[in-house]
Amino acid sequence: MKIIMYGTGKAEREYVQDWMKETGNEVEMVSDQLNAQTIDLAKGCDGISIQQTKPLGDSAVYQELAAMGIKQIATRTAGYDMIDLAACRANGIVVTNVAVYSPRAIAEMGLTHAMYLLRHIGEFTSRMDQGDFRWNPDLISSEIYTQTVGIIGLGNIGGATAELYKALGARVLAYDPNKNVEYAPFVEYTDLDTIIKTADIISLHTPLLPSTKNMLAAPQFAAMKKNAIVINMARGGLINTADLITALENHEIAGAGLDTLADETGFFNQEVAVDQLPADYQRLHAMPNVLITPHVAFFTTTSIRNMVEISLNDVVRVVTGQRTKNEVHL
């Protein structure tokens, strides 16, 4: 079988080579994204795998794929909002995604942010840059096993995060309207209010929904402990950014670790002149008690290998008429 893999990144190539050797299938790797201009590259191929955030195009793209005999689109990502599901349904195209590739990758990045902030590494680095190497009493740290961690959203990633903190001896509280028994050994279930008021580290792991948008805003920051560290590895829109900046400036909370920002799509995973960055990013970035990474919590060798393998295996399954649990409901 011949598969075209659009949007191939450098980090993916060796896993694709391994997969080709193991399965005997041929994969043509192209860096282009799938759209009206690049659709011809799929001619003569049996299946398609994509990795992109930009929409594929209007209904003509899907009609052309169907006319070429393409039966499926496999995105190597969890999100599939770049694919027009109605157009897929109309043209008999099955869509698959990779919802779970390595929860541990994101959990470890969240823990890394929390430890960085807990040990005041940003503040020490910033003072050392000014020639201040003193053991300032305001920078004394706490040890992780003395801390109470509050996990909001105990799904795949929140659960993996709870397991890590529990292993380090922390007390782990969790709030999730759907109690997942799989993670019960690692947490004490509680309500959101208790987490907001009592946790030293608050770690967000819910999807962005109308019900979760701005779930941390001025009233929640005001209710948090002064030493609270907020970690957001999930979606920027879960936090009201302006209120977060105010809470940090007023010392209502101690720090924030952010892998996602509400307006990140304009600059994360792109080269952008620093003076073109949004003002809220610049204000957060200037604070030594804030750590920002450009939505890279997922970016590990394990994640990339799993995304490639799961996606390509699903191409084979769908093209050969088998079902897969990764089919997106059209």
Active site residues: 235, 264, 295
| Closer by beta carbon to ligand NAD, 1 or else 208 | 208
- From 149-157, 162-170, 280-288, 316-324, span contacting ligand NAD (CB under 6 A): 149-157
Parallel/antiparallel/unpaired status of strands 94-96 and 255-258: unpaired
| Closer by beta carbon to ligand NAD, 26 or else 81 | 81
Q: To the nearest whole angstrom, how small is the minimum distance from the Cβ of residue 187 to ligand NAD?
A: 12
Which two tokens mark 218?
A: 């001025």
| Closer by beta carbon to ligand NAD, 169 or else 207 | 207
Among 152, 164, 217, 308, binds ligand NAD (CB under 6 A): 152
Q: Please report whether residue 329 would count as binding ligand NAD according to CB under 6 A.
A: no
Q: Please report whether residue 157 would count as binding ligand NAD according to CB under 6 A.
A: yes
Among 71, 76, 120, 205, binds ligand NAD (CB under 6 A): 205
Among 7, 153, 255, 257, binds ligand NAD (CB under 6 A): 153
Among 169, 207, 219, 266, binds ligand NAD (CB under 6 A): 207
Q: To the nearest whole angstrom, how small is the minimum distance from the Cβ of residue 174 to ligand NAD?
A: 9
Q: Please report whether residue 161 would count as binding ligand NAD according to CB under 6 A.
A: no
What is the C-alpha separation between 243 and 46, in angstroms, rounded?
50
What is the C-alpha separation between 304 and 300, in angstroms, rounded?
6
| Closer by beta carbon to ligand NAD, 252 or else 259 | 259
Q: To the nearest whole angstrom, how small is the minimum distance from the Cβ of residue 137 to ligand NAD?
A: 35
| Position of minimal CB gap to ligand NAD | 155
Q: Please report whether residue 183 would count as binding ligand NAD according to CB under 6 A.
A: no
> Under a CB-based contact definition with an 8 Å cutoff, are residues 78 and 47 in contact?
no
> Under a CB-based contact definition with an 8 Å cutoff, are residues 1 and 46 in contact?
yes
Burial of 62 (0-12, 13-18, 19+ CB in 10 A): buried
- From 35-43, 203-211, 265-273, 274-282, span contacting ligand NAD (CB under 6 A): 203-211
Q: Please report whether residue 232 would count as binding ligand NAD according to CB under 6 A.
A: no
In the complex, the residues that contact ligand NAD under the rule CB under 6 A are 78, 106, 152-158, 175-178, 180, 205-208, 211-212, 233-235, 259-260, 295, 297-298
